[in-house]
Amino acid sequence: MSYSKKFMVKPGEKIHLDKIDPAYTDQHESHEKALTKIQEHVGRMDKLQYLLYADGDQSLLVVLQALDAAGKDGVIRHLFSGMNPQGTSVFGFKQPSKEEAAHDFLWRAHQRTPSKGEIVIFNRSHYEDVLVVRVHKLAKKSIWSKRYDLINDFEKMLSSNGTRILKFFLHISPEEQLERFKQRLDDPARNWKITDADYSERELWPKYIAAYEDALEKTSTQHAPWYIIPANHKWFRNLAISEIIADTLDEMGLKLPPTHVDMEAIRNKYHIAEQKQAGKGNDPLNKNSKS
Ligand code: AMP
Ligand code: MG
């Protein structure tokens, strides 16, 4: 079964994250054995991104959400590294600026959605407005509880305008998170990544899980599905996400646009090597040229 099918949250499905194994690795025994597949998927992603850009008619929005240290940055570094920066961008959602907070919660997300031909990755997203905002009571329940429908409408609108949307929840265990925090404490090169807030947020784990379960249940739709990715093993996380993205791009029916020029005429006029050498070409910049 493809990972698209396996990890997709079906519209209306009830989610119990504690019943989903974050350490799942399918039949793959090790990183080494999965590496060839990851490289194959990443290679397909790179080729298809070129085609998406050339085709210029559709776009892809990838949403990454997770608890701290689950690997959002790692996914971006490993899977999108080979793509042409022209046509790909990443936007990280932080605490809203004064200007952002003065607008509706979808305003800043909408400004960053991909234009035709582009891939945009949201590192956190408009979902923070039903996650951190709910957990920390930054808005009243009467406000955030209306946002699921608003998000579904927003994503439906993007989708009818040619944007494919893939939403990934990186699922790790609390033990794995603690281990990753410890690595950040122990490794001087990674000290900068750890803050007190990481530990205080961790205490709110059950509240975040409840908020995530609600979001996953209420906003996984045909046009913008959620995928729950087992993420305790970084390599398996990368394998599953790269397969889902490559398969999705594959399904989009991307094609090179038709040419608007007479190739044969141009080739004859400027590019026949023998003509150039004989000084018979028509390139005005070629000193040997007749014209
Ligand atoms: P990081 O991803 O580690 O750079 O942290 C970004 C921080 O911004 C996280 O703690 C998010 O929860 C927070 N954040 C993102 N969006 C919002 C939002 N809409 N309201 C409040 N906090 C947010
Ligand atoms: Mg953080």
Atom of ligand 1 lying closest to residue 68 CA: 3
| Encoded amino acid at 12, one letter | G
Say what the pLDDT of residue 276 is: 63
Burial class (CB in 10 A: 0-12, 13-18, 19+), 213: middle
Q: Look at residue 247 in the predicted model and tell me its pLDDT.
A: 98
pLDDT at residue number 275: 63
Residues of the chain with pLDDT under 70: 273-281, 283, 286-291
Ligand 2 centroid from CA 94, angstroms: 9
The pTM for the full model equals 0.93
CB atoms within 10 A of CB 286: 15
Residue 278 is predicted with a pLDDT of 63
- Ligand 1 close to Cβ of residue 97 (< 6 A): no
Residue identifier of the C-alpha nearest atom 7 of ligand 1: 94
Q: Which helix (H) or strand (E) holds 218?
A: helix 205-219
Check if 201 has its Cβ closer than 6 Å to any atom of ligand 1: no
* Binding site membership of 133 for ligand 1 (Cβ less than 6 Å): yes
Give CA–CA dist 51/251, Å, rounded: 12
Q: CA–CA distance from 78 to each of 59, 190, 242, 275 (Å)?
A: 21, 17, 10, 47
Count other Cβ atoms within 10 Å, centred on residue 218: 19
With CA atoms as reference, report the closest residue to 72 among 163, 172, 155, 158. Answer: 172
- First-to-final CA distance of the chain: 63
Topology of the domain covering 3-251: Rossmann fold (3.40.50)
> Cα of 68 to ligand 2 centre, how many Å?
5
**Per-residue confidence (pLDDT) for residue 75, from 0 to 100:** 97
Distance 201 CA to ligand 2 centre (A): 9
CA of 166 to the centre of ligand 1 (A): 20
CA of 34 to the centre of ligand 2 (A): 28
Distance 180 CA to ligand 2 centre (A): 12
**Cα–Cα distance measured from residue 23 to residue 282, given in angstroms and rounded to the nearest whole number:** 65
Query: What integer pLDDT is reported at residue 217 of this predicted model?
Result: 98
Copy the structure tokens of residue 178: 């603690």
Name which residue sits closest to atom 5 of ligand 1, judged by CA: 94
Nearest CA to ligand 1 atom 11: 94
173 token code pair: 């265990």
Structural domain boundaries in the chain: 3-251, 263-291
Q: Where are the beta strands (DSSP E) in the chain?
A: 59-66, 88-92, 119-123, 163-171, 226-230
Cβ–Cβ under 8 Å, residues 64 and 171 = no
The residue nearest atom 9 of ligand 1, judged by CA position, is 94
Residue 289 is predicted with a pLDDT of 56
Is 93 near ligand 1, meaning CB less than 6 Å away?
yes
What is the atom index within ligand 1 of the atom nearest the CA of 129? 19
Cα–Cα dist 161/40, whole Å? 30
* C-alpha dist (Å) from residue 289 to 85, 118, 263, 277: 38, 41, 20, 9
Determine if ligand 1 sits within 6 Å of the CB of residue 132. Answer: yes
pLDDT digits (tens, 9 = 90+) for 46-83: 999 999 999 999 999 999 999 999 999 999 999 998 88
Probe residue for ligand 1, chosen from 68, 76, 95, 202 as the CB with the greatest number of ligand atoms within 8 Å:
95
CB 250 within 8 A of CB 48: yes
